[in-house]
Amino acid sequence: MTIQPLGWRKSSRSGQRTNCVEVGRVGDGAAVRDTKDRAAGYFTADRMQWQAFVAAVKADRFA
């Protein structure tokens, strides 16, 4: 049985652009998909992985 992500949303910083990702809730973690190709599926991260990723983004470690 596959759990479907709930509440897909994209960042308000994306504006009207289509080259971004959407995030949905999956259990205690997150699912991420490409807005240009939603049918391609998504990947998931558990709570700890997602928190580490968000912290790295906020710390500008991907610039």
C-alpha count within 13 angstroms, C-beta hemisphere, residue 32: 12
The range of the structural domain enclosing residue 44 comes to 6-58
pLDDT at 1: 57
The whole-angstrom separation of Cα 36 and Cα 24 is: 16
pLDDT at 8: 93
The whole-angstrom separation of Cα 24 and Cα 29 is: 9
Whether residue 1 lies inside any domain: the answer is no
**Number of domains observed in the structure of the chain:** 1
Whether residue 22 lies inside any domain: the answer is yes
- Tens digit of each residue's pLDDT (9 = 90 or more) over 3-52: 789 999 987 777 777 778 899 999 999 999 998 888 999 999 999 999 99
Whether residue 35 lies inside any domain: the answer is yes
Tokens encoding 39: 């049918």
Whether residue 63 lies inside any domain: the answer is no
